[in-house]
Structure 1
Amino acid sequence: MASTHQKKDASSLPVLSRHEGRYRNHATMKPASLLRTLRIFWDQAFNKPKDTRPAGEIPVQPLSRQQLLAAPNNTVYRLGHSTVLLKLRDQFWLTDPVFAERASPVQWAGPQRFHQPPISLEELPPIKAVILSHNHYDHLDRMAIKALTDKTEHFLAPLGVGDTLIEWGVPAHKVRQLDWWQSTEVAGIEFVATPSQHFSGRTLLDSNRTLWASWVMIDGDQRIFFSGDSGYFDGFKTIGEQYGPFDLTLMETGAYNVEWPHVHMQPEQTLQAHLDLRGRWLLPIHNGTFDLSMHAWHEPFDRILALAWEQNVSITTPMMGQPFYVQYPCRGLTWWLGVDEVAEPEPEPEPEQHGRVTNCKCPRQNA
């Protein structure tokens, strides 16, 4: 269990800046030129490498409501992309619920799921709170929000995102909107909206009209960090100094690209952010579900796992739907190994080389 934490005063920390009605990051980032933007869109549409999507079937461990209700407290399930279900204090908490077939404004085009969710929206038990990081389509799913409205008690969102929820039919009394460094308490757990370095928008006309955030979850002596989407910045160190150490960090590790270095992290930066936060265990998220960049679909797992082993960082890489525990999360497998080979078999390998999944080696727990 993490050491006892003392609550600190965040009043002296920097507050959100607004400029001409739009939210902005603390760091000034040079906007991409029109030519560069068009080139990025062209590459995404027409120059995709073949391995950005899996050739085989992603293994998923199915879940039922009965299983979830019977699970002990502090159980965590990764459902896909940045959607994580946590059972804390006999209640369920859900981050960035995306259950749609495509991360897109329409369901006939756009990035398509690699796998089905381990559990359907209908089968989910009552949710104490949904925690939202920002309004991009791979994090804010209108269909999922509508389906969750009746069974969810609270929706925690950055400024402006809550207004979107209310427009979609979520009762206003269920919505809590927070600025950076503001906090709210639900069922004895404190939630703090903390900075991230990203952007927002769902159309060509609403760029940065709503805020983006990461989240700190404080459950007594236990602390969890949810990164949302972010580039690497010194805010992670500030959050770690203010609220760390963290028992578990849910960290973006995927959809990175040298063309957008300020809004998504390379795996090396993800690991450094985890260290800045003073994290104990690292769960890589934002991968394995949608094709949102140019890297191989399995590359985020390969790179972050190798880096963690090299630097003796405790990491867990569960299958979608596989339970693990906040304090003892080493239930991971290198489940992605062999997925592509199963669909495109090579000539019969030697027996000792054949196999779909290999058990992972858990690095020694940090002191």
Structure 2
Amino acid sequence: MLATTACTSTNNLSEVNATEQLAHHKAKGGFVNTSPTFSDDTAILPLLKRYITETRVDATPNTSIPVIAVTAEQLNQLPKNQDSVIRLGHSSIFLQVNGQRWLIDPVFSERASPFSFAGPKRFHQPPIALTDLPEIDGVIISHDHYDHLDKASIKQLATSVSHFVVPLGVDKHLKDWGVVSEHIHPLDWWQAFKLDDVTITATPTQHFSGRSLFDKNETLWASYVIKSSSSSLYFSGDSGYFDGFKQIGERFGPFDLTMVETGAYDKDWATIHMTPAQSLQAHIDLQGKKMMPIHNGTFDLAFHSWYDPLNQIAQLASDANVEIVTPKMGELLAVNEIHKTTHWWALK
């Protein structure tokens, strides 16, 4: 797609000392969260008991989620000088920056699960089928959980995409699924990948990784700072609230748009996902101008109602005089001219 392409991987370690850089690495391999308040000791059996016995209200929609269909022709006609964002569902994003087309955490499968017959099922279909997308320059992956790293989608993209930016260790999955190593750019926190005038920096989150009972935290998890010549974006991936947001804001902010996890929170995993109030605070810490709540509206991943994250963040943002944008799935956002969006989840 690009007439000329120059790509480099760099260590963006200014103001980061060696101790800080290595603190999240285990001595014998794998990764850890470093916050003294972090806790990840939730047992599986009590959670299963809750899922079986706890009464849940509106865990899934009883009416259709509004989706704006998108065509390849429409994407091809996007102005090259307009940085654009389209929410595809959950945390999946189509992004055009400096004329480059990127997918973030593309999940096009029917379920966010290792099984085709069980696990969280989509509330809605993607605005565009994976096979209908125009040429994609790159894919960004935040971590290896099934609602962010979709094997079927990656296998479909493996031979047509030239750049896959991933946290350390996630490259092993991609290689197993047919992506050639030369196209994969594994990054540690604070390291960056640059393609022409677009720089993508992996930044910290407070989360965990693993695709089975036996590979927990063998791969890294990350958020991303995406800077072009005309805009500055932040994508949170998954994270509990921690002081890293303020650190990222101080180093890379302000941001024209933050895409921040707002959903799948619960008292039993309070340090690996954020409540809406914490998501809003993360946006403020990041020095964001506008916030787009993500990680909601597509899969049932927690005990709260499907619309609770959006209801809460809309009210909290209004009370705090913070600008949020809640586009429908498939709705185009021009980053530097973001229009007013609706509370689509509340419309009858």
| TM superposition score normalised by structure 2 | 0.92
One of 9, 15, 20 as aligned partner of 2:14 = 9
Q: One-letter code of the match for 2:35?
A: A
Deviations 1:135-186 (A, max 9, x none): 0000000000011112211000000001110111101110000001111101
Deviations 1:170-229 (A, max 9, x none): 011100000011111013211110000000000000000000000001112521000000
Q: Distance in 2 between matches of 1:33 and 1:57?
A: 34
Q: Distance in 2 between matches of 1:8 and 1:32?
A: 32
Deviations 1:212-257 (A, max 9, x none): 0000011125210000000000000000000000010000000011
Q: Distance in 1 between matches of 2:16 and 2:309?
A: 36
In structure 2, what is the equivalent of residue 225 of structure 1?
234
Unaligned runs of at least 5 residues, structure 2: 1-11
Contact map agreement 1:79 1:321 (CA 8 A) in 2: yes
Q: How does 1:1-367 map to 2 (within 5 A)?
A: 9-12=14-17, 14-16=20-22, 17-19=24-26, 20-28=28-36, 29-32=38-41, 34=43, 37-47=44-54, 49-72=56-79, 73-338=82-347, 356=348
Deviations 1:8-50 (A, max 9, x none): 924437214322322101114334254xx31112223453514
Range moving further from structure 2, 84-93 or 57-66: 84-93
In structure 2, what is the equivalent of residue 341 of structure 1?
none
Q: Distance in 2 between matches of 1:8 and 1:312?
A: 34
Q: Rate the CA distance shift 1:81–1:141 in 2: closer, same or farther, 3 A.
A: same
In structure 2, what is the equivalent of residue 353 of structure 1?
none
Percent identity over the alignment? 47
SS state at 1:22 partner? coil
Q: Distance in 1 between matches of 2:40 and 2:226?
A: 33
SS state at 1:23 partner? coil
Contact map agreement 1:79 1:118 (CA 8 A) in 2: yes
Q: Distance in 1 between matches of 2:299 and 2:242?
A: 25
Q: Distance in 1 between matches of 2:96 and 2:39?
A: 41
Moved over 4 A (4+): none
Q: Rate the CA distance shift 1:22–1:173 in 2: closer, same or farther, 3 A.
A: same
SS state at 2:130 partner? coil
Q: One-letter code of the match for 1:25?
A: N
Q: One-letter code of the match for 2:51?
A: Q
Q: Rate the CA distance shift 1:290–1:46 in 2: closer, same or farther, 3 A.
A: farther
CA drift of 1:328 comes to 2.1
Contact map agreement 1:44 1:293 (CA 8 A) in 2: no
Deviations 1:48-76 (A, max 9, x none): 51401001110100000000111222121
Q: Distance in 2 between matches of 1:112 and 1:237?
A: 34
Contact map agreement 1:324 1:331 (CA 8 A) in 2: no
Contact map agreement 2:98 2:229 (CA 8 A) in 1: no
Give the number of aligned pairs. 331
